[in-house]
Amino acid sequence: MKWLVATRNRDKFGEIQAIFADLPVDLLDLEDFPGIRTVKESGTTLRANALLKARSVHRETGLPVIADDTGLEVNALDGVPGVYAARFAGPRATYRQNMEKLLAAMEHVPDYQRTARFRTCAAYVNDTHELVAAGVVEGFITREPLGDNGFGYDPVFRVKGTK
């Protein structure tokens, strides 16, 4: 069975492939469909963006589609960057530019107030069903990038209970 992951982000696709590795599903991504335009994340919620992408790509391909949107909510910044995490430093910002803007905004925030969470909504759409799942990982923002694993804000986010 083939499912299409509605992303061109190779890092994200790699993580999703690892999750599905033991399942009888052949995952494709938008790199396999160069004619499909990237869906603009115009929703104001993670759920809206995930559904927008999944529905649009399903309409164009007829394949079952998985799409997601993830936001980083920082308590000291009143939930910012939130749904705009991927473009926090601008529409074409790199991972590093987004991280640097976040760290600059939190420069004077004391350690005990650096709490944050990743919130994700994933949508699955096929010919007969639409499913949406959500998850949250609580943690905190470090003062500087730690390590070089992961992508996005991973180098400055530590899961609650870890060092």
Q: How many CA atoms lie within 13 A of 84 on its CB side?
A: 13
For residue 27, give the amino acid letter.
Answer: L
- Asked if the bond preceding 81 is cis, omega within 30° of 0, the reply is yes
Q: Average pLDDT in the 13-28 region?
A: 95
Could you tell me which residues come within 8 angstroms of residue 68 by beta carbon, excluding any fewer than 6 positions away?
7, 12, 50, 120, 121, 122, 123
pLDDT band at 3 (very low <50, low <70, confident <90, very high): very high
Among 11, 32, 69, 148, the active-site one is: 69
Residue with tokens 């470090």: 142
Q: Average pLDDT in the 104-129 region?
A: 98
Predicted pLDDT at 148: 73
**CATH placement of domain 2-159:** 3.90.950.10
Task: Pinpoint the alpha helices (H) of 67-146.
Answer: 95-105
Predicted pLDDT at 16: 94
Separation between Cα atoms, residue 149 and residue 130, nearest integer Å:
33
- Per-domain residue ranges of the chain: 2-159
User: Can 69 be counted among the known catalytic residues?
Assistant: yes
Mean pLDDT computed over every residue of the chain: 95
pLDDT band at 40 (very low <50, low <70, confident <90, very high): confident
* Summary count for the chain: helices (H), strands (E): 3, 7
- Cα-Cα-Cα-Cα torsion 38, 14, 103, 101, nearest 10 degrees, comes to -20
Res. 38: pLDDT tops 90: no
Res. 18: pLDDT tops 90: yes
Q: Average pLDDT in the 142-158 region?
A: 88
Do residues 116 and 141 touch, judged by C-beta distance below 8 A?
A: yes
Res. 26: pLDDT tops 80: yes
Separation between Cα atoms, residue 146 and residue 110, nearest integer Å:
18
Beta strand 130-141 with 157-159 is: antiparallel
